[in-house]
């Protein structure tokens, strides 16, 4: 599987839809064929060569995008193998519906990053916008598998309707973190908004900041109850898995926890885990 290097010529006038531009789709194509692939630009279609200088890459199975792709949406959409690296910002829906492979974004990503992701890994060095690891508009199921790591901040409704997988935020997260969560694990190294766990049914939300506590003024605290039941094996496994992400998570295996079960208003059996 060959690799390709795309160097952005200049910012497009309108938003560009990069769905279909994946390592597997480009594996057997020539440079001329790759350059002639059509992508959406507003209501029109443009050839990739009109937007990028296209050249063979140095890493097999890797698509490398150089430049600010903040107006380029659906990077890695439905990707199932290979690797994509964006050396800058990415637009909306980055890594949406991914089934495998790896997406690395050296900057920040827009709205709905990792929406309905089912497998693979996404690593965002900057921030993500609202509804990351969540559902597509009008859908019922959020993130379904894989791993999302955000090294910066996360917007509102991170992990909304999440069903499976791991979503890690090293910085702060906005309001309604893990809202309507069905299963999976969310871990936050910074602060979270006041409505964390709203409507949560199952799954775990871990607050890992040093001296962590439930978010100030959290309304969900009224429908979550402290649970003193010891879970040493479960926590040992989860803490070890989270510790590999470093930062605020590195010391989790040595820390005690406080569990709060709920959201009782939704007959939920999820948990908010505060690391003491």
SS3 letters across 129-150: CCCCCCCCCCCCCCCEEEEEEE
Phi-psi region of 267 (alpha: psi -120 to 50; beta: other; left: phi over 0): left
- Bridge partners of 148? 122, 167
Reported in sequence order, the residue ranges of the chain that DSSP labels E, i.e. its strands, are 4-8, 16-17, 38-41, 44-47, 52-56, 62-66, 72-73, 83-87, 102-105, 121-124, 144-150, 164-169, 185-188, 204-207, 225-227, 257-262, 270-275
Q: Is 59 helix (H, G, I), strand (E, B) or coil?
A: coil
Q: Provide CB contacts within 8 A for 156, sequence distance 6+.
A: 130, 131, 174, 175, 176, 193
What is the 8-class DSSP label of residue 215?
Answer: P
Q: Give the pTM.
A: 0.96
Q: Check pLDDT > 70 for residue 112.
A: yes
Nearest to 75 by CA among 36, 22, 23, 154: 22
Per-residue confidence (pLDDT) for residue 217, from 0 to 100:
61
Q: Which residue has the tokens 């894989």?
A: 146
Q: Check pLDDT > 90 for residue 21.
A: yes
Per-residue confidence (pLDDT) for residue 78, from 0 to 100:
98
Q: What is the pLDDT of residues 190-222, one digit of tens each?
A: 999 889 999 999 999 999 998 777 876 665 556
Instruction: Compute the C-alpha angle 219/146/126, nearest 5°.
Output: 70
Q: How far apart are CA 191 and CA 208, in angstroms?
A: 9
Q: What is the pLDDT of residues 34-64, one digit of tens each?
A: 999 999 999 999 999 999 999 999 899 999 9
Residue 132 to residues 76, 104, 144, 253, 274, Cα–Cα distance (Å): 15, 15, 12, 27, 22
Q: Check pLDDT > 90 for residue 181.
A: yes
Q: How far apart are CA 180 and CA 200, in angstroms?
A: 4
Per-residue confidence (pLDDT) for residue 32, from 0 to 100:
95
């Amino acid at each position: 599987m060959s690799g390709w290097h795309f160097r952005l010529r200049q910012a497009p006038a309108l938003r560009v839809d990069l769905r279909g531009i994946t390592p597997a789709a480009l594996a057997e194509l020539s440079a001329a064929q790759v350059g002639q692939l059509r992508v959406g630009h507003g209501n029109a279609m443009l050839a990739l060569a009109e937007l990028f200088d296209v050249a063979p890459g140095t890493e097999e199975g890797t698509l490398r995008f150089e430049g600010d792709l903040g107006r380029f949406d659906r990077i890695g959409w439905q990707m199932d193998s290979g690797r994509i690296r964006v050396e800058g910002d990415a637009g909306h829906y980055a890594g949406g519906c991914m089934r495998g492979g790896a997406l690395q974004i050296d900057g920040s990503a827009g709205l709905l990053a990792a929406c309905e992701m089912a497998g693979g890994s996404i690593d965002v060095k900057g921030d993500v916008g609202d509804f990351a690891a969540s559902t597509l508009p009008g859908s019922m199921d959020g993130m379904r598998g894989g791993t999302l790591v955000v090294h910066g901040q996360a917007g509102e409704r991170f992990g909304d309707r999440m069903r499976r997988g791991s979503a890690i935020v090293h910085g702060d997260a906005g309001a309604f973190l893990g809202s309507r969560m069905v299963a999976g694990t969310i871990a936050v190294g910074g602060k979270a908004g006041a409505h964390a766990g709203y409507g949560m049914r199952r799954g775990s939300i871990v607050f890992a900041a040093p001296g962590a506590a439930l978010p100030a003024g959290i309304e969900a605290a009224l429908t979550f109850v402290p649970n003193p039941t010891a879970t040493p094996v479960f926590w040992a496994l989860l803490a070890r898995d989270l510790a590999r992400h470093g930062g605020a998570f590195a010391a989790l295996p040595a820390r005690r926890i406080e569990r709060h079960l709920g959201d009782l208003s939704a007959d939920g059996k999820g948990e908010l885990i505060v690391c003491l």
